[in-house]
Structure 1
């Protein structure tokens, strides 16, 4: 499901930046080689706050619901032209109470499996760069503006800005997001690195938890 994959991408990429901001920390992992020690309650609250922030970018009128039209407009802003019946199908898969809208609880249910990731949704099984990837490839191409097989800092910024995230206009924030995924150090993200990010899932959103008590 392309919507779910894109949302996982946003949570992963924005997670470390927003995490540092909300806890008043220097950007991780830049401030040290050791992740900050935080309590589990703070991390759980952070994840909820992060999901709420992403939800608000789709909820254009801030009424607490994402309508079909709002979803269609958000997808169009990042270059995905979805037919009305496709948008309706996306909403229907998330809409648990059948009211034709997506509320925050239904939105958060997309990420209830915080131990794995979107692997089942996007069928991420191996490291074969030649694997077309279906919806995963489509999600990658949302960020790969010029379709050269690489996501640059500038391309990432354009997508985030088009969705209303202020981080999109902040060069250092975008560089930090790229660094979290960039394994070969070229300052860009290829499809192989993108697939690994999706396999890591929510484990990559926040630093490793400390087992110590408050």
Structure 2
């Protein structure tokens, strides 16, 4: 359910209505060279997966309410989760009660998409020791924060499914491939790219 984290980050970045150039500058040259990700790629999320994520975020209700969003942000250790949750819901939601229904949820993700920088941010949240790799233990820890209960053995199986070089770890390329496998790549006009130093 790491899509949940990415979409939450994406909802937060929606407040600015565009990719975060400061985040792009923070991504190291090594990461750009090793993974050849194309930092300004945008993906369109799969609607069936989006419905699963929405149901998880809303606790299987018709709307994501303030307490749902705040609880998720707190589990992700977002500073001032209450303030962030309120801003997200006010910006994204069209309902007078401050909630987000599935139509709002899809509209913001269709409009903004999922940027490569959102996926890189999620990778860095999983990579708790900052070594550029995600271990099964790091997956277990983050899944627990997201409210998903899985054993270390289940997490090892998850790693094995996406680990291309067989080292028992998930690198940036593995993570990117896993997160985008059901998403369509969006075409962007050349004027939407940001020059990196």
* CA displacement at 1:77 relative to structure 2: 0.9
Aligned to 1:208: none
Unaligned stretches of 5+ residues in structure 2: 10-46, 185-197
* CA displacement at 1:146 relative to structure 2: 2.2
Are the counterparts in 1 of residues 54 and 102 from structure 2 also a CA contact under 8 Å?
Answer: yes
SS at match of 1:151: coil
Residues paired across the two proteins, number: 146
* CA displacement at 1:112 relative to structure 2: 5.7
Q: Under a length normalisation based on structure 2, what TM-score does the superposition of the two structures give?
A: 0.55
* CA displacement at 1:52 relative to structure 2: 4.5
Aligned to 1:177: 158
Deviations 1:178-207 (A, max 9, x none): 23432222121122332333443437xxxx
Are the counterparts in 2 of residues 72 and 87 from structure 1 also a CA contact under 8 Å?
Answer: yes
* CA displacement at 1:5 relative to structure 2: 6.2
Are the counterparts in 1 of residues 66 and 99 from structure 2 also a CA contact under 8 Å?
Answer: yes
What are the equivalent positions in structure 2 for 1:46-195 lying under 5 Å apart?
48=48, 51-60=50-59, 63-97=61-95, 99-109=97-107, 121-122=114-115, 124=116, 133=117, 135-166=118-149, 168-169=150-151, 171-172=153-154, 174-195=155-176
1:200 correspondence with 2:193: no
User: Cα–Cα, structure 1 residues 105 and 138, in superposed 2: closer, same or farther, change >3 Å?
Assistant: same
SS at match of 1:189: coil
Unaligned stretches of 5+ residues in structure 1: 10-46, 125-132, 204-214
Deviations 1:80-137 (A, max 9, x none): 3355443334324432445421223433456669xxxx8x532x3xxxxxxxx4x433
Q: Under a length normalisation based on structure 1, what TM-score does the superposition of the two structures give?
A: 0.51
Alignment root-mean-square deviation, CA: 3.6
